[in-house]
Amino acid sequence: MSFMKFALKNLFAHKTRTILTLGSMVVAVAVLFTLVSFNRGYEKALKTQLQGMGIHMMVVPVGCPYEAASLILKGGKIPNHLPMSVLDDVRKIPEIDIAAPSFMSGIVRPEEGRTDIYVGIDSATLRLKNWWKLEGSFPQNPDEVVIGDNVSLIELSGIGDQIYLPEKDATFNIVGKLGPTGTEDDGFFYIPIETAQRLFDQPDKLTAISIRLKNPDDAPVVTARLATVKGAEVITMGELLGTMMTLMGAAKSLLLSIVMIIIVISALGVLNTVLMSVFERTREIGVMRATGAAQSHIFGLVWLETLLLSLLGGAGGLVLAIAGSRVIENVVKRFLPLAPKGSVVALEPGSFLLVLGFVVGIAVVAGFYPALRAARAKPIEALRSE
Amino acid sequence: MDRDQETKGSRDRVSDLSLGTREPLRCSTGAAEANPAVVARGLTRVYRRGAETIRALKGIDLDIQCGEFVGVVGHSGAGKTTFLNLAGLMDRPTEGRLTVLGHDVGKRGAGFDALRRKNIGFVFQEFYLMPTLTAVENVLLPTMWGRGNGEGRMSNVELKGSKHRAEELLNLVGLGQRMTHKPSELSGGEMQRVAVARALVNSPRLLLADEPTGNLDTLTRDGIFNLLLALNRDSGLTVIVATHDLSLESRFTRVIRLEDGEVKNG
Ligand SMILES: Nc1ncnc2c1ncn2[C@@H]1O[C@H](COP(=O)(O)OP(=O)(O)OP(=O)(O)O)[C@@H](O)[C@H]1O
Ligand SMILES: [Mg+2]
């Protein structure tokens, strides 16, 4: 009989207890693996999406540019503005394929608990965001508007309807509607840029210029050239991604504390099981000692049992996590700001390793004390105990 | 002469069961006088129960040579089990000196696990079998903690070898049909015989048996006793048996009589 078989036999001598512990371990590992995979997947999906957008950099007003840029993507009121002249400077740079100016501002609707974001754009944006599915037409006249997918749901209106803005005493005809993009774009009102500037009394002012390069590798050259433009600051999408991830920080630390709680709970569960089984087997451990087992053998055996328990639980948890990842993904996505379109649960080797580390860590920590207790038993006293 | 006849029956089978020739560890089969297996000087064991102290062994002196077949006899409570536990390295003396197979067994110090595993077989009065293991697995238990000789994990071939040996031993004690029974599915006498087989599986030099025939009918008792005798004769196994079965006394090479924690011998 091998040591391994003996350990397994011991574990399954108490089926119910072992299976219950395995169950809690399976759930813990499944949740942990999903959270870790989600965390990685979310970052990856966001990155892919930003890169897929084909927006390589943004020109924003001097100020706190990262924050501003995030706000622009998420929608919001920016206190600083760019002069219109910057656009001419930008368009002179030969490496730039598209430079799309935008002016963004919001109308606060406290009684409805929301802010309507109006984005002034021109046809350059339509070319830049070539993934947009535009139903109807792009605004030609000053009083025409295109609405995002969510807006049409909230306003319960579509092409042909009118929108009245009492604050500005302005009326817009809806001429187009965007298909769902899965991004913040779904929540905006798009109007001609000149209209937006006039509406918010900021003539000749821009919020940002989004830029696509002919070749993304030219980014450093273009950044250097843009740095000389007065009143403007350049941020690349790479930097922007970092900012967005920090905005995610709060969500992340919540995630982290859930993970910590899971680890503590499952470690305590395993500790309890192994400790109970050691106490119950005092006499059997005495028999092992009496038949020549050294303290190290007993320690090793109890630890092996803990490790087997954890590894079995871990394997079960991974299977459950992978099987259930699509379901979990849908649930998680619903509660998430800035949910990217792609899969947000990434099954990476790194996550497997992390979870493996967690499982082994639990076994090591939870197995140590019981193993020590077991090994310390004196043969004859252990044999005599009831 | 008498002994010769008695052991004949089991001797053939015993010679199949290779206990193996091994170089002596301060305990060879020859020159018994110069070769002590167990030496006790002023050996004392005091049990403490709260304020009460029980002197189970009161400073006994004795020498047991290698190759002897010794009976430790005495009334219940005389200290037989206490002595066997000390000689089998299961317990530590309160006072006095004890040398087992050339190793000084102090009050403190490192465990003698390896010595116990490799060289000492022990049959407990209460058997102490593992309830979750089958008969053959119980016999195999001592082989799990490393090889009989030397250390280290066993290879697959060795695992098979020890399984084979365990089955052989069970056959020898008449349990060939009870290999896969759990202790709860065995009679008292059968459990006792499993315990005997377990004590022999690592080919020990010293066998300590505490009432090994207590639960057996005369026929089975003689079978076990003859097996031990044959092992003693053919492989030079040193055997110390604690018993209060007076009818067995004549068959030991020597009898040590314990009375109230003291040796009472002529
Ligand atoms: N753990 C213990 N604690 C206290 N007293 C003990 C303990 N073990 C044995 N004793 C006492 O020590 C004395 C010797 O006990 P021991 O078990 O050695 O006797 P024994 O000769 O083996 O008896 P038996 O033939 O009944 O097995 C007894 O009086 C017993 O009550
Ligand atoms: Mg006794």
Q: Is the pLDDT of residue B51 over 60?
A: yes
Is residue A209 within 8 Å of A86, Cβ to Cβ? yes
DSSP secondary structure string, B212-249? TTTTS-HHHHHHHHHHHHHHHHHH--EEEEEE--GGGG
Q: Which of A65-74, A225-234, B172-181, B201-210 has the lowest mean pLDDT?
A: A65-74
How confident is the model at residue A202, as a pLDDT?
87
Is residue A202 within 8 Å of A112, Cβ to Cβ? no
Span between the terminal Cα atoms of chain A, in Å: 27
Mean pLDDT of the region B208-234:
86
CA distances from B144 to A148, B154, B155 (A): 72, 8, 11
DSSP secondary structure string, A1-45? --HHHHHHHHHGGGHHHHHHHHHHHHHHHHHHHHHHHHHHHHHHH
Q: How many A from CA of B62 to the centre of ligand 1?
A: 19
Which atom belonging to ligand 1 lies closest to the Cα atom of B57?
14
Domain count, chain B: 1
Most confident range, picked from A222-226, B134-138, B150-154: B134-138
Backbone φ, ψ for residue B47 (5° rounding): -95, 140
Per-residue pLDDT tens over the stretch B81-131: 999 999 998 888 999 999 998 888 876 555 577 788 888 999 998 889 999
**Atom 11 of ligand 1 has which residue's CA nearest to it?**
B56
How confident is the model at residue B15, as a pLDDT?
44
How confident is the model at residue A241, as a pLDDT?
67
Buried b (16+ CB within 10 A) or exposed e, A223-248: eebbeebeebbbbbbeebbebbeebb
Specify burial of residue A320 (Cβ count, 10 A radius: 0-12, 13-18, 19+).
middle
Is residue A139 within 8 Å of A146, Cβ to Cβ? yes
How confident is the model at residue B92, as a pLDDT?
87
Q: Is the pLDDT of residue B33 over 80?
A: no
Of the candidates B147, B121, B107, the one whose C-alpha atom is nearest the C-alpha of residue B37 is B121
Indicate if ligand 1 lies below 6 Å from the C-beta of B47.
yes
Cβ contacts of A295 on chain B, cutoff 8 Å = 111, 113
Specify burial of residue B206 (Cβ count, 10 A radius: 0-12, 13-18, 19+).
buried
Residue B235 lies in a domain: yes
Specify burial of residue A57 (Cβ count, 10 A radius: 0-12, 13-18, 19+).
buried
Of the candidates B103, B127, B98, the one whose C-alpha atom is nearest the C-alpha of residue B115 is B103
Mean pLDDT of the region B236-245:
91
Mean pLDDT of the region B220-232:
87
CB atoms within 10 A of CB B4: 10
Rounded CA-CA distance B33/A71 in Å is 98
Residues of chain A with pLDDT under 50: none
Residue B222 lies in a domain: yes
Which atom belonging to ligand 1 lies closest to the Cα atom of B84?
18
Indicate if ligand 1 lies below 6 Å from the C-beta of B36.
no
Buried b (16+ CB within 10 A) or exposed e, B98-134: bbbbbeebeeeeeebbebbbbbbbbbbbebbbbebbb
CATH of the domain at B114: 3.40.50.300
Is residue A10 within 8 Å of A298, Cβ to Cβ? no
Residue B46 lies in a domain: no
Q: Is the dihedral of CA A148, A150, A151, A156 positive or negative?
A: positive
- Listed by number, the residues of chain A in 322-381 with a beta carbon closer than 8 Å to a beta carbon of chain B are 379-380
Cβ contacts of A288 on chain B, cutoff 8 Å = 130, 141, 145
Rounded CA-CA distance A110/A116 in Å is 10
What is the extent of the structural domain holding B216?
3-35+67-93+107-263
The torsion angle over the Cα atoms of residues A238, A239, A242 and A243, rounded to 10 degrees, is -140
Bridge partners (DSSP) of residue A174 are A145
The sheet carrying B120-123 orders its strands as B120-123, B206-210, B238-243, B69-73, B254-259, B262-263
How confident is the model at residue B3, as a pLDDT?
43
Per-residue pLDDT tens over the stretch B53-78: 999 999 999 999 998 999 999 999 99
Given CB atoms, is B203 within the 8 Å cutoff of chain A?
no
Residues in chain B: 266
The torsion angle over the Cα atoms of residues A273, A278, A284 and A288, rounded to 10 degrees, is 120
Rounded CA-CA distance A321/B130 in Å is 39
A45/B51: higher pLDDT:
B51
Rounded CA-CA distance B143/B202 in Å is 7
How confident is the model at residue A40, as a pLDDT?
74
Bridge partners (DSSP) of residue B122 are B208
How confident is the model at residue A192, as a pLDDT?
94
Q: What is the DSSP letter of B147?
A: -
CA–centroid distance for A263 within its chain: 21
Cβ contacts of B139 on chain A, cutoff 8 Å = none
**Atom 25 of ligand 1 has which residue's CA nearest to it?**
B76
Q: How many A from CA of B131 to the centre of ligand 2?
A: 22
How confident is the model at residue A232, as a pLDDT?
81
Residue B113 lies in a domain: yes
Backbone φ, ψ for residue B150 (5° rounding): 80, 175
Indicate if ligand 1 lies below 6 Å from the C-beta of B56.
yes
Residue B42 lies in a domain: no
The sheet carrying B36-49 orders its strands as B52-65, B36-49, B95-100, B103-104
How confident is the model at residue B23, as a pLDDT?
40
Q: Residue B208, SS3?
A: strand
Q: Is the pLDDT of residue B261 over 90?
A: yes
CB atoms within 10 A of CB A110: 7
Of the candidates B188, B141, B147, the one whose C-alpha atom is nearest the C-alpha of residue B166 is B141
pTM of the model: 0.67
Residue to mutate among B141, B154, B159, B164, with most A CBs inside 10 A, is B141
Q: Is the pLDDT of residue B210 over 70?
A: yes
Cβ contacts of B137 on chain A, cutoff 8 Å = 1
Residue B221 lies in a domain: yes
Residue B198 lies in a domain: yes
Is residue A125 within 8 Å of A193, Cβ to Cβ? no
Mean pLDDT of the region B17-41:
59
How confident is the model at residue B148, as a pLDDT?
41
DSSP secondary structure string, A194-246? HHHHHHTT-TTEESEEEEEESSGGGHHHHHHHHHTSTTEEEEEHHHHHHHHHH
Average pLDDT, chain B: 82
**Residue where the block lists tokens 């303290």:** A295
Report the phi/psi class of residue A129: left, alpha or beta, with left for phi > 0 and alpha for psi in -120 to 50: beta
Rounded CA-CA distance A122/A193 in Å is 6
How confident is the model at residue A61, as a pLDDT?
82
Q: Is the pLDDT of residue B18 over 50?
A: no
Which stretches within chain A are classed as H helix?
3-11, 15-52, 65-74, 85-91, 123-128, 149-155, 193-199, 219-227, 237-247, 249-280, 282-290, 295-334, 349-376, 379-384
Residue B57 lies in a domain: no
Buried b (16+ CB within 10 A) or exposed e, B17-56: bebeeeeeeebbbeebeebbbbbbeebbbeeeeeeeeebb
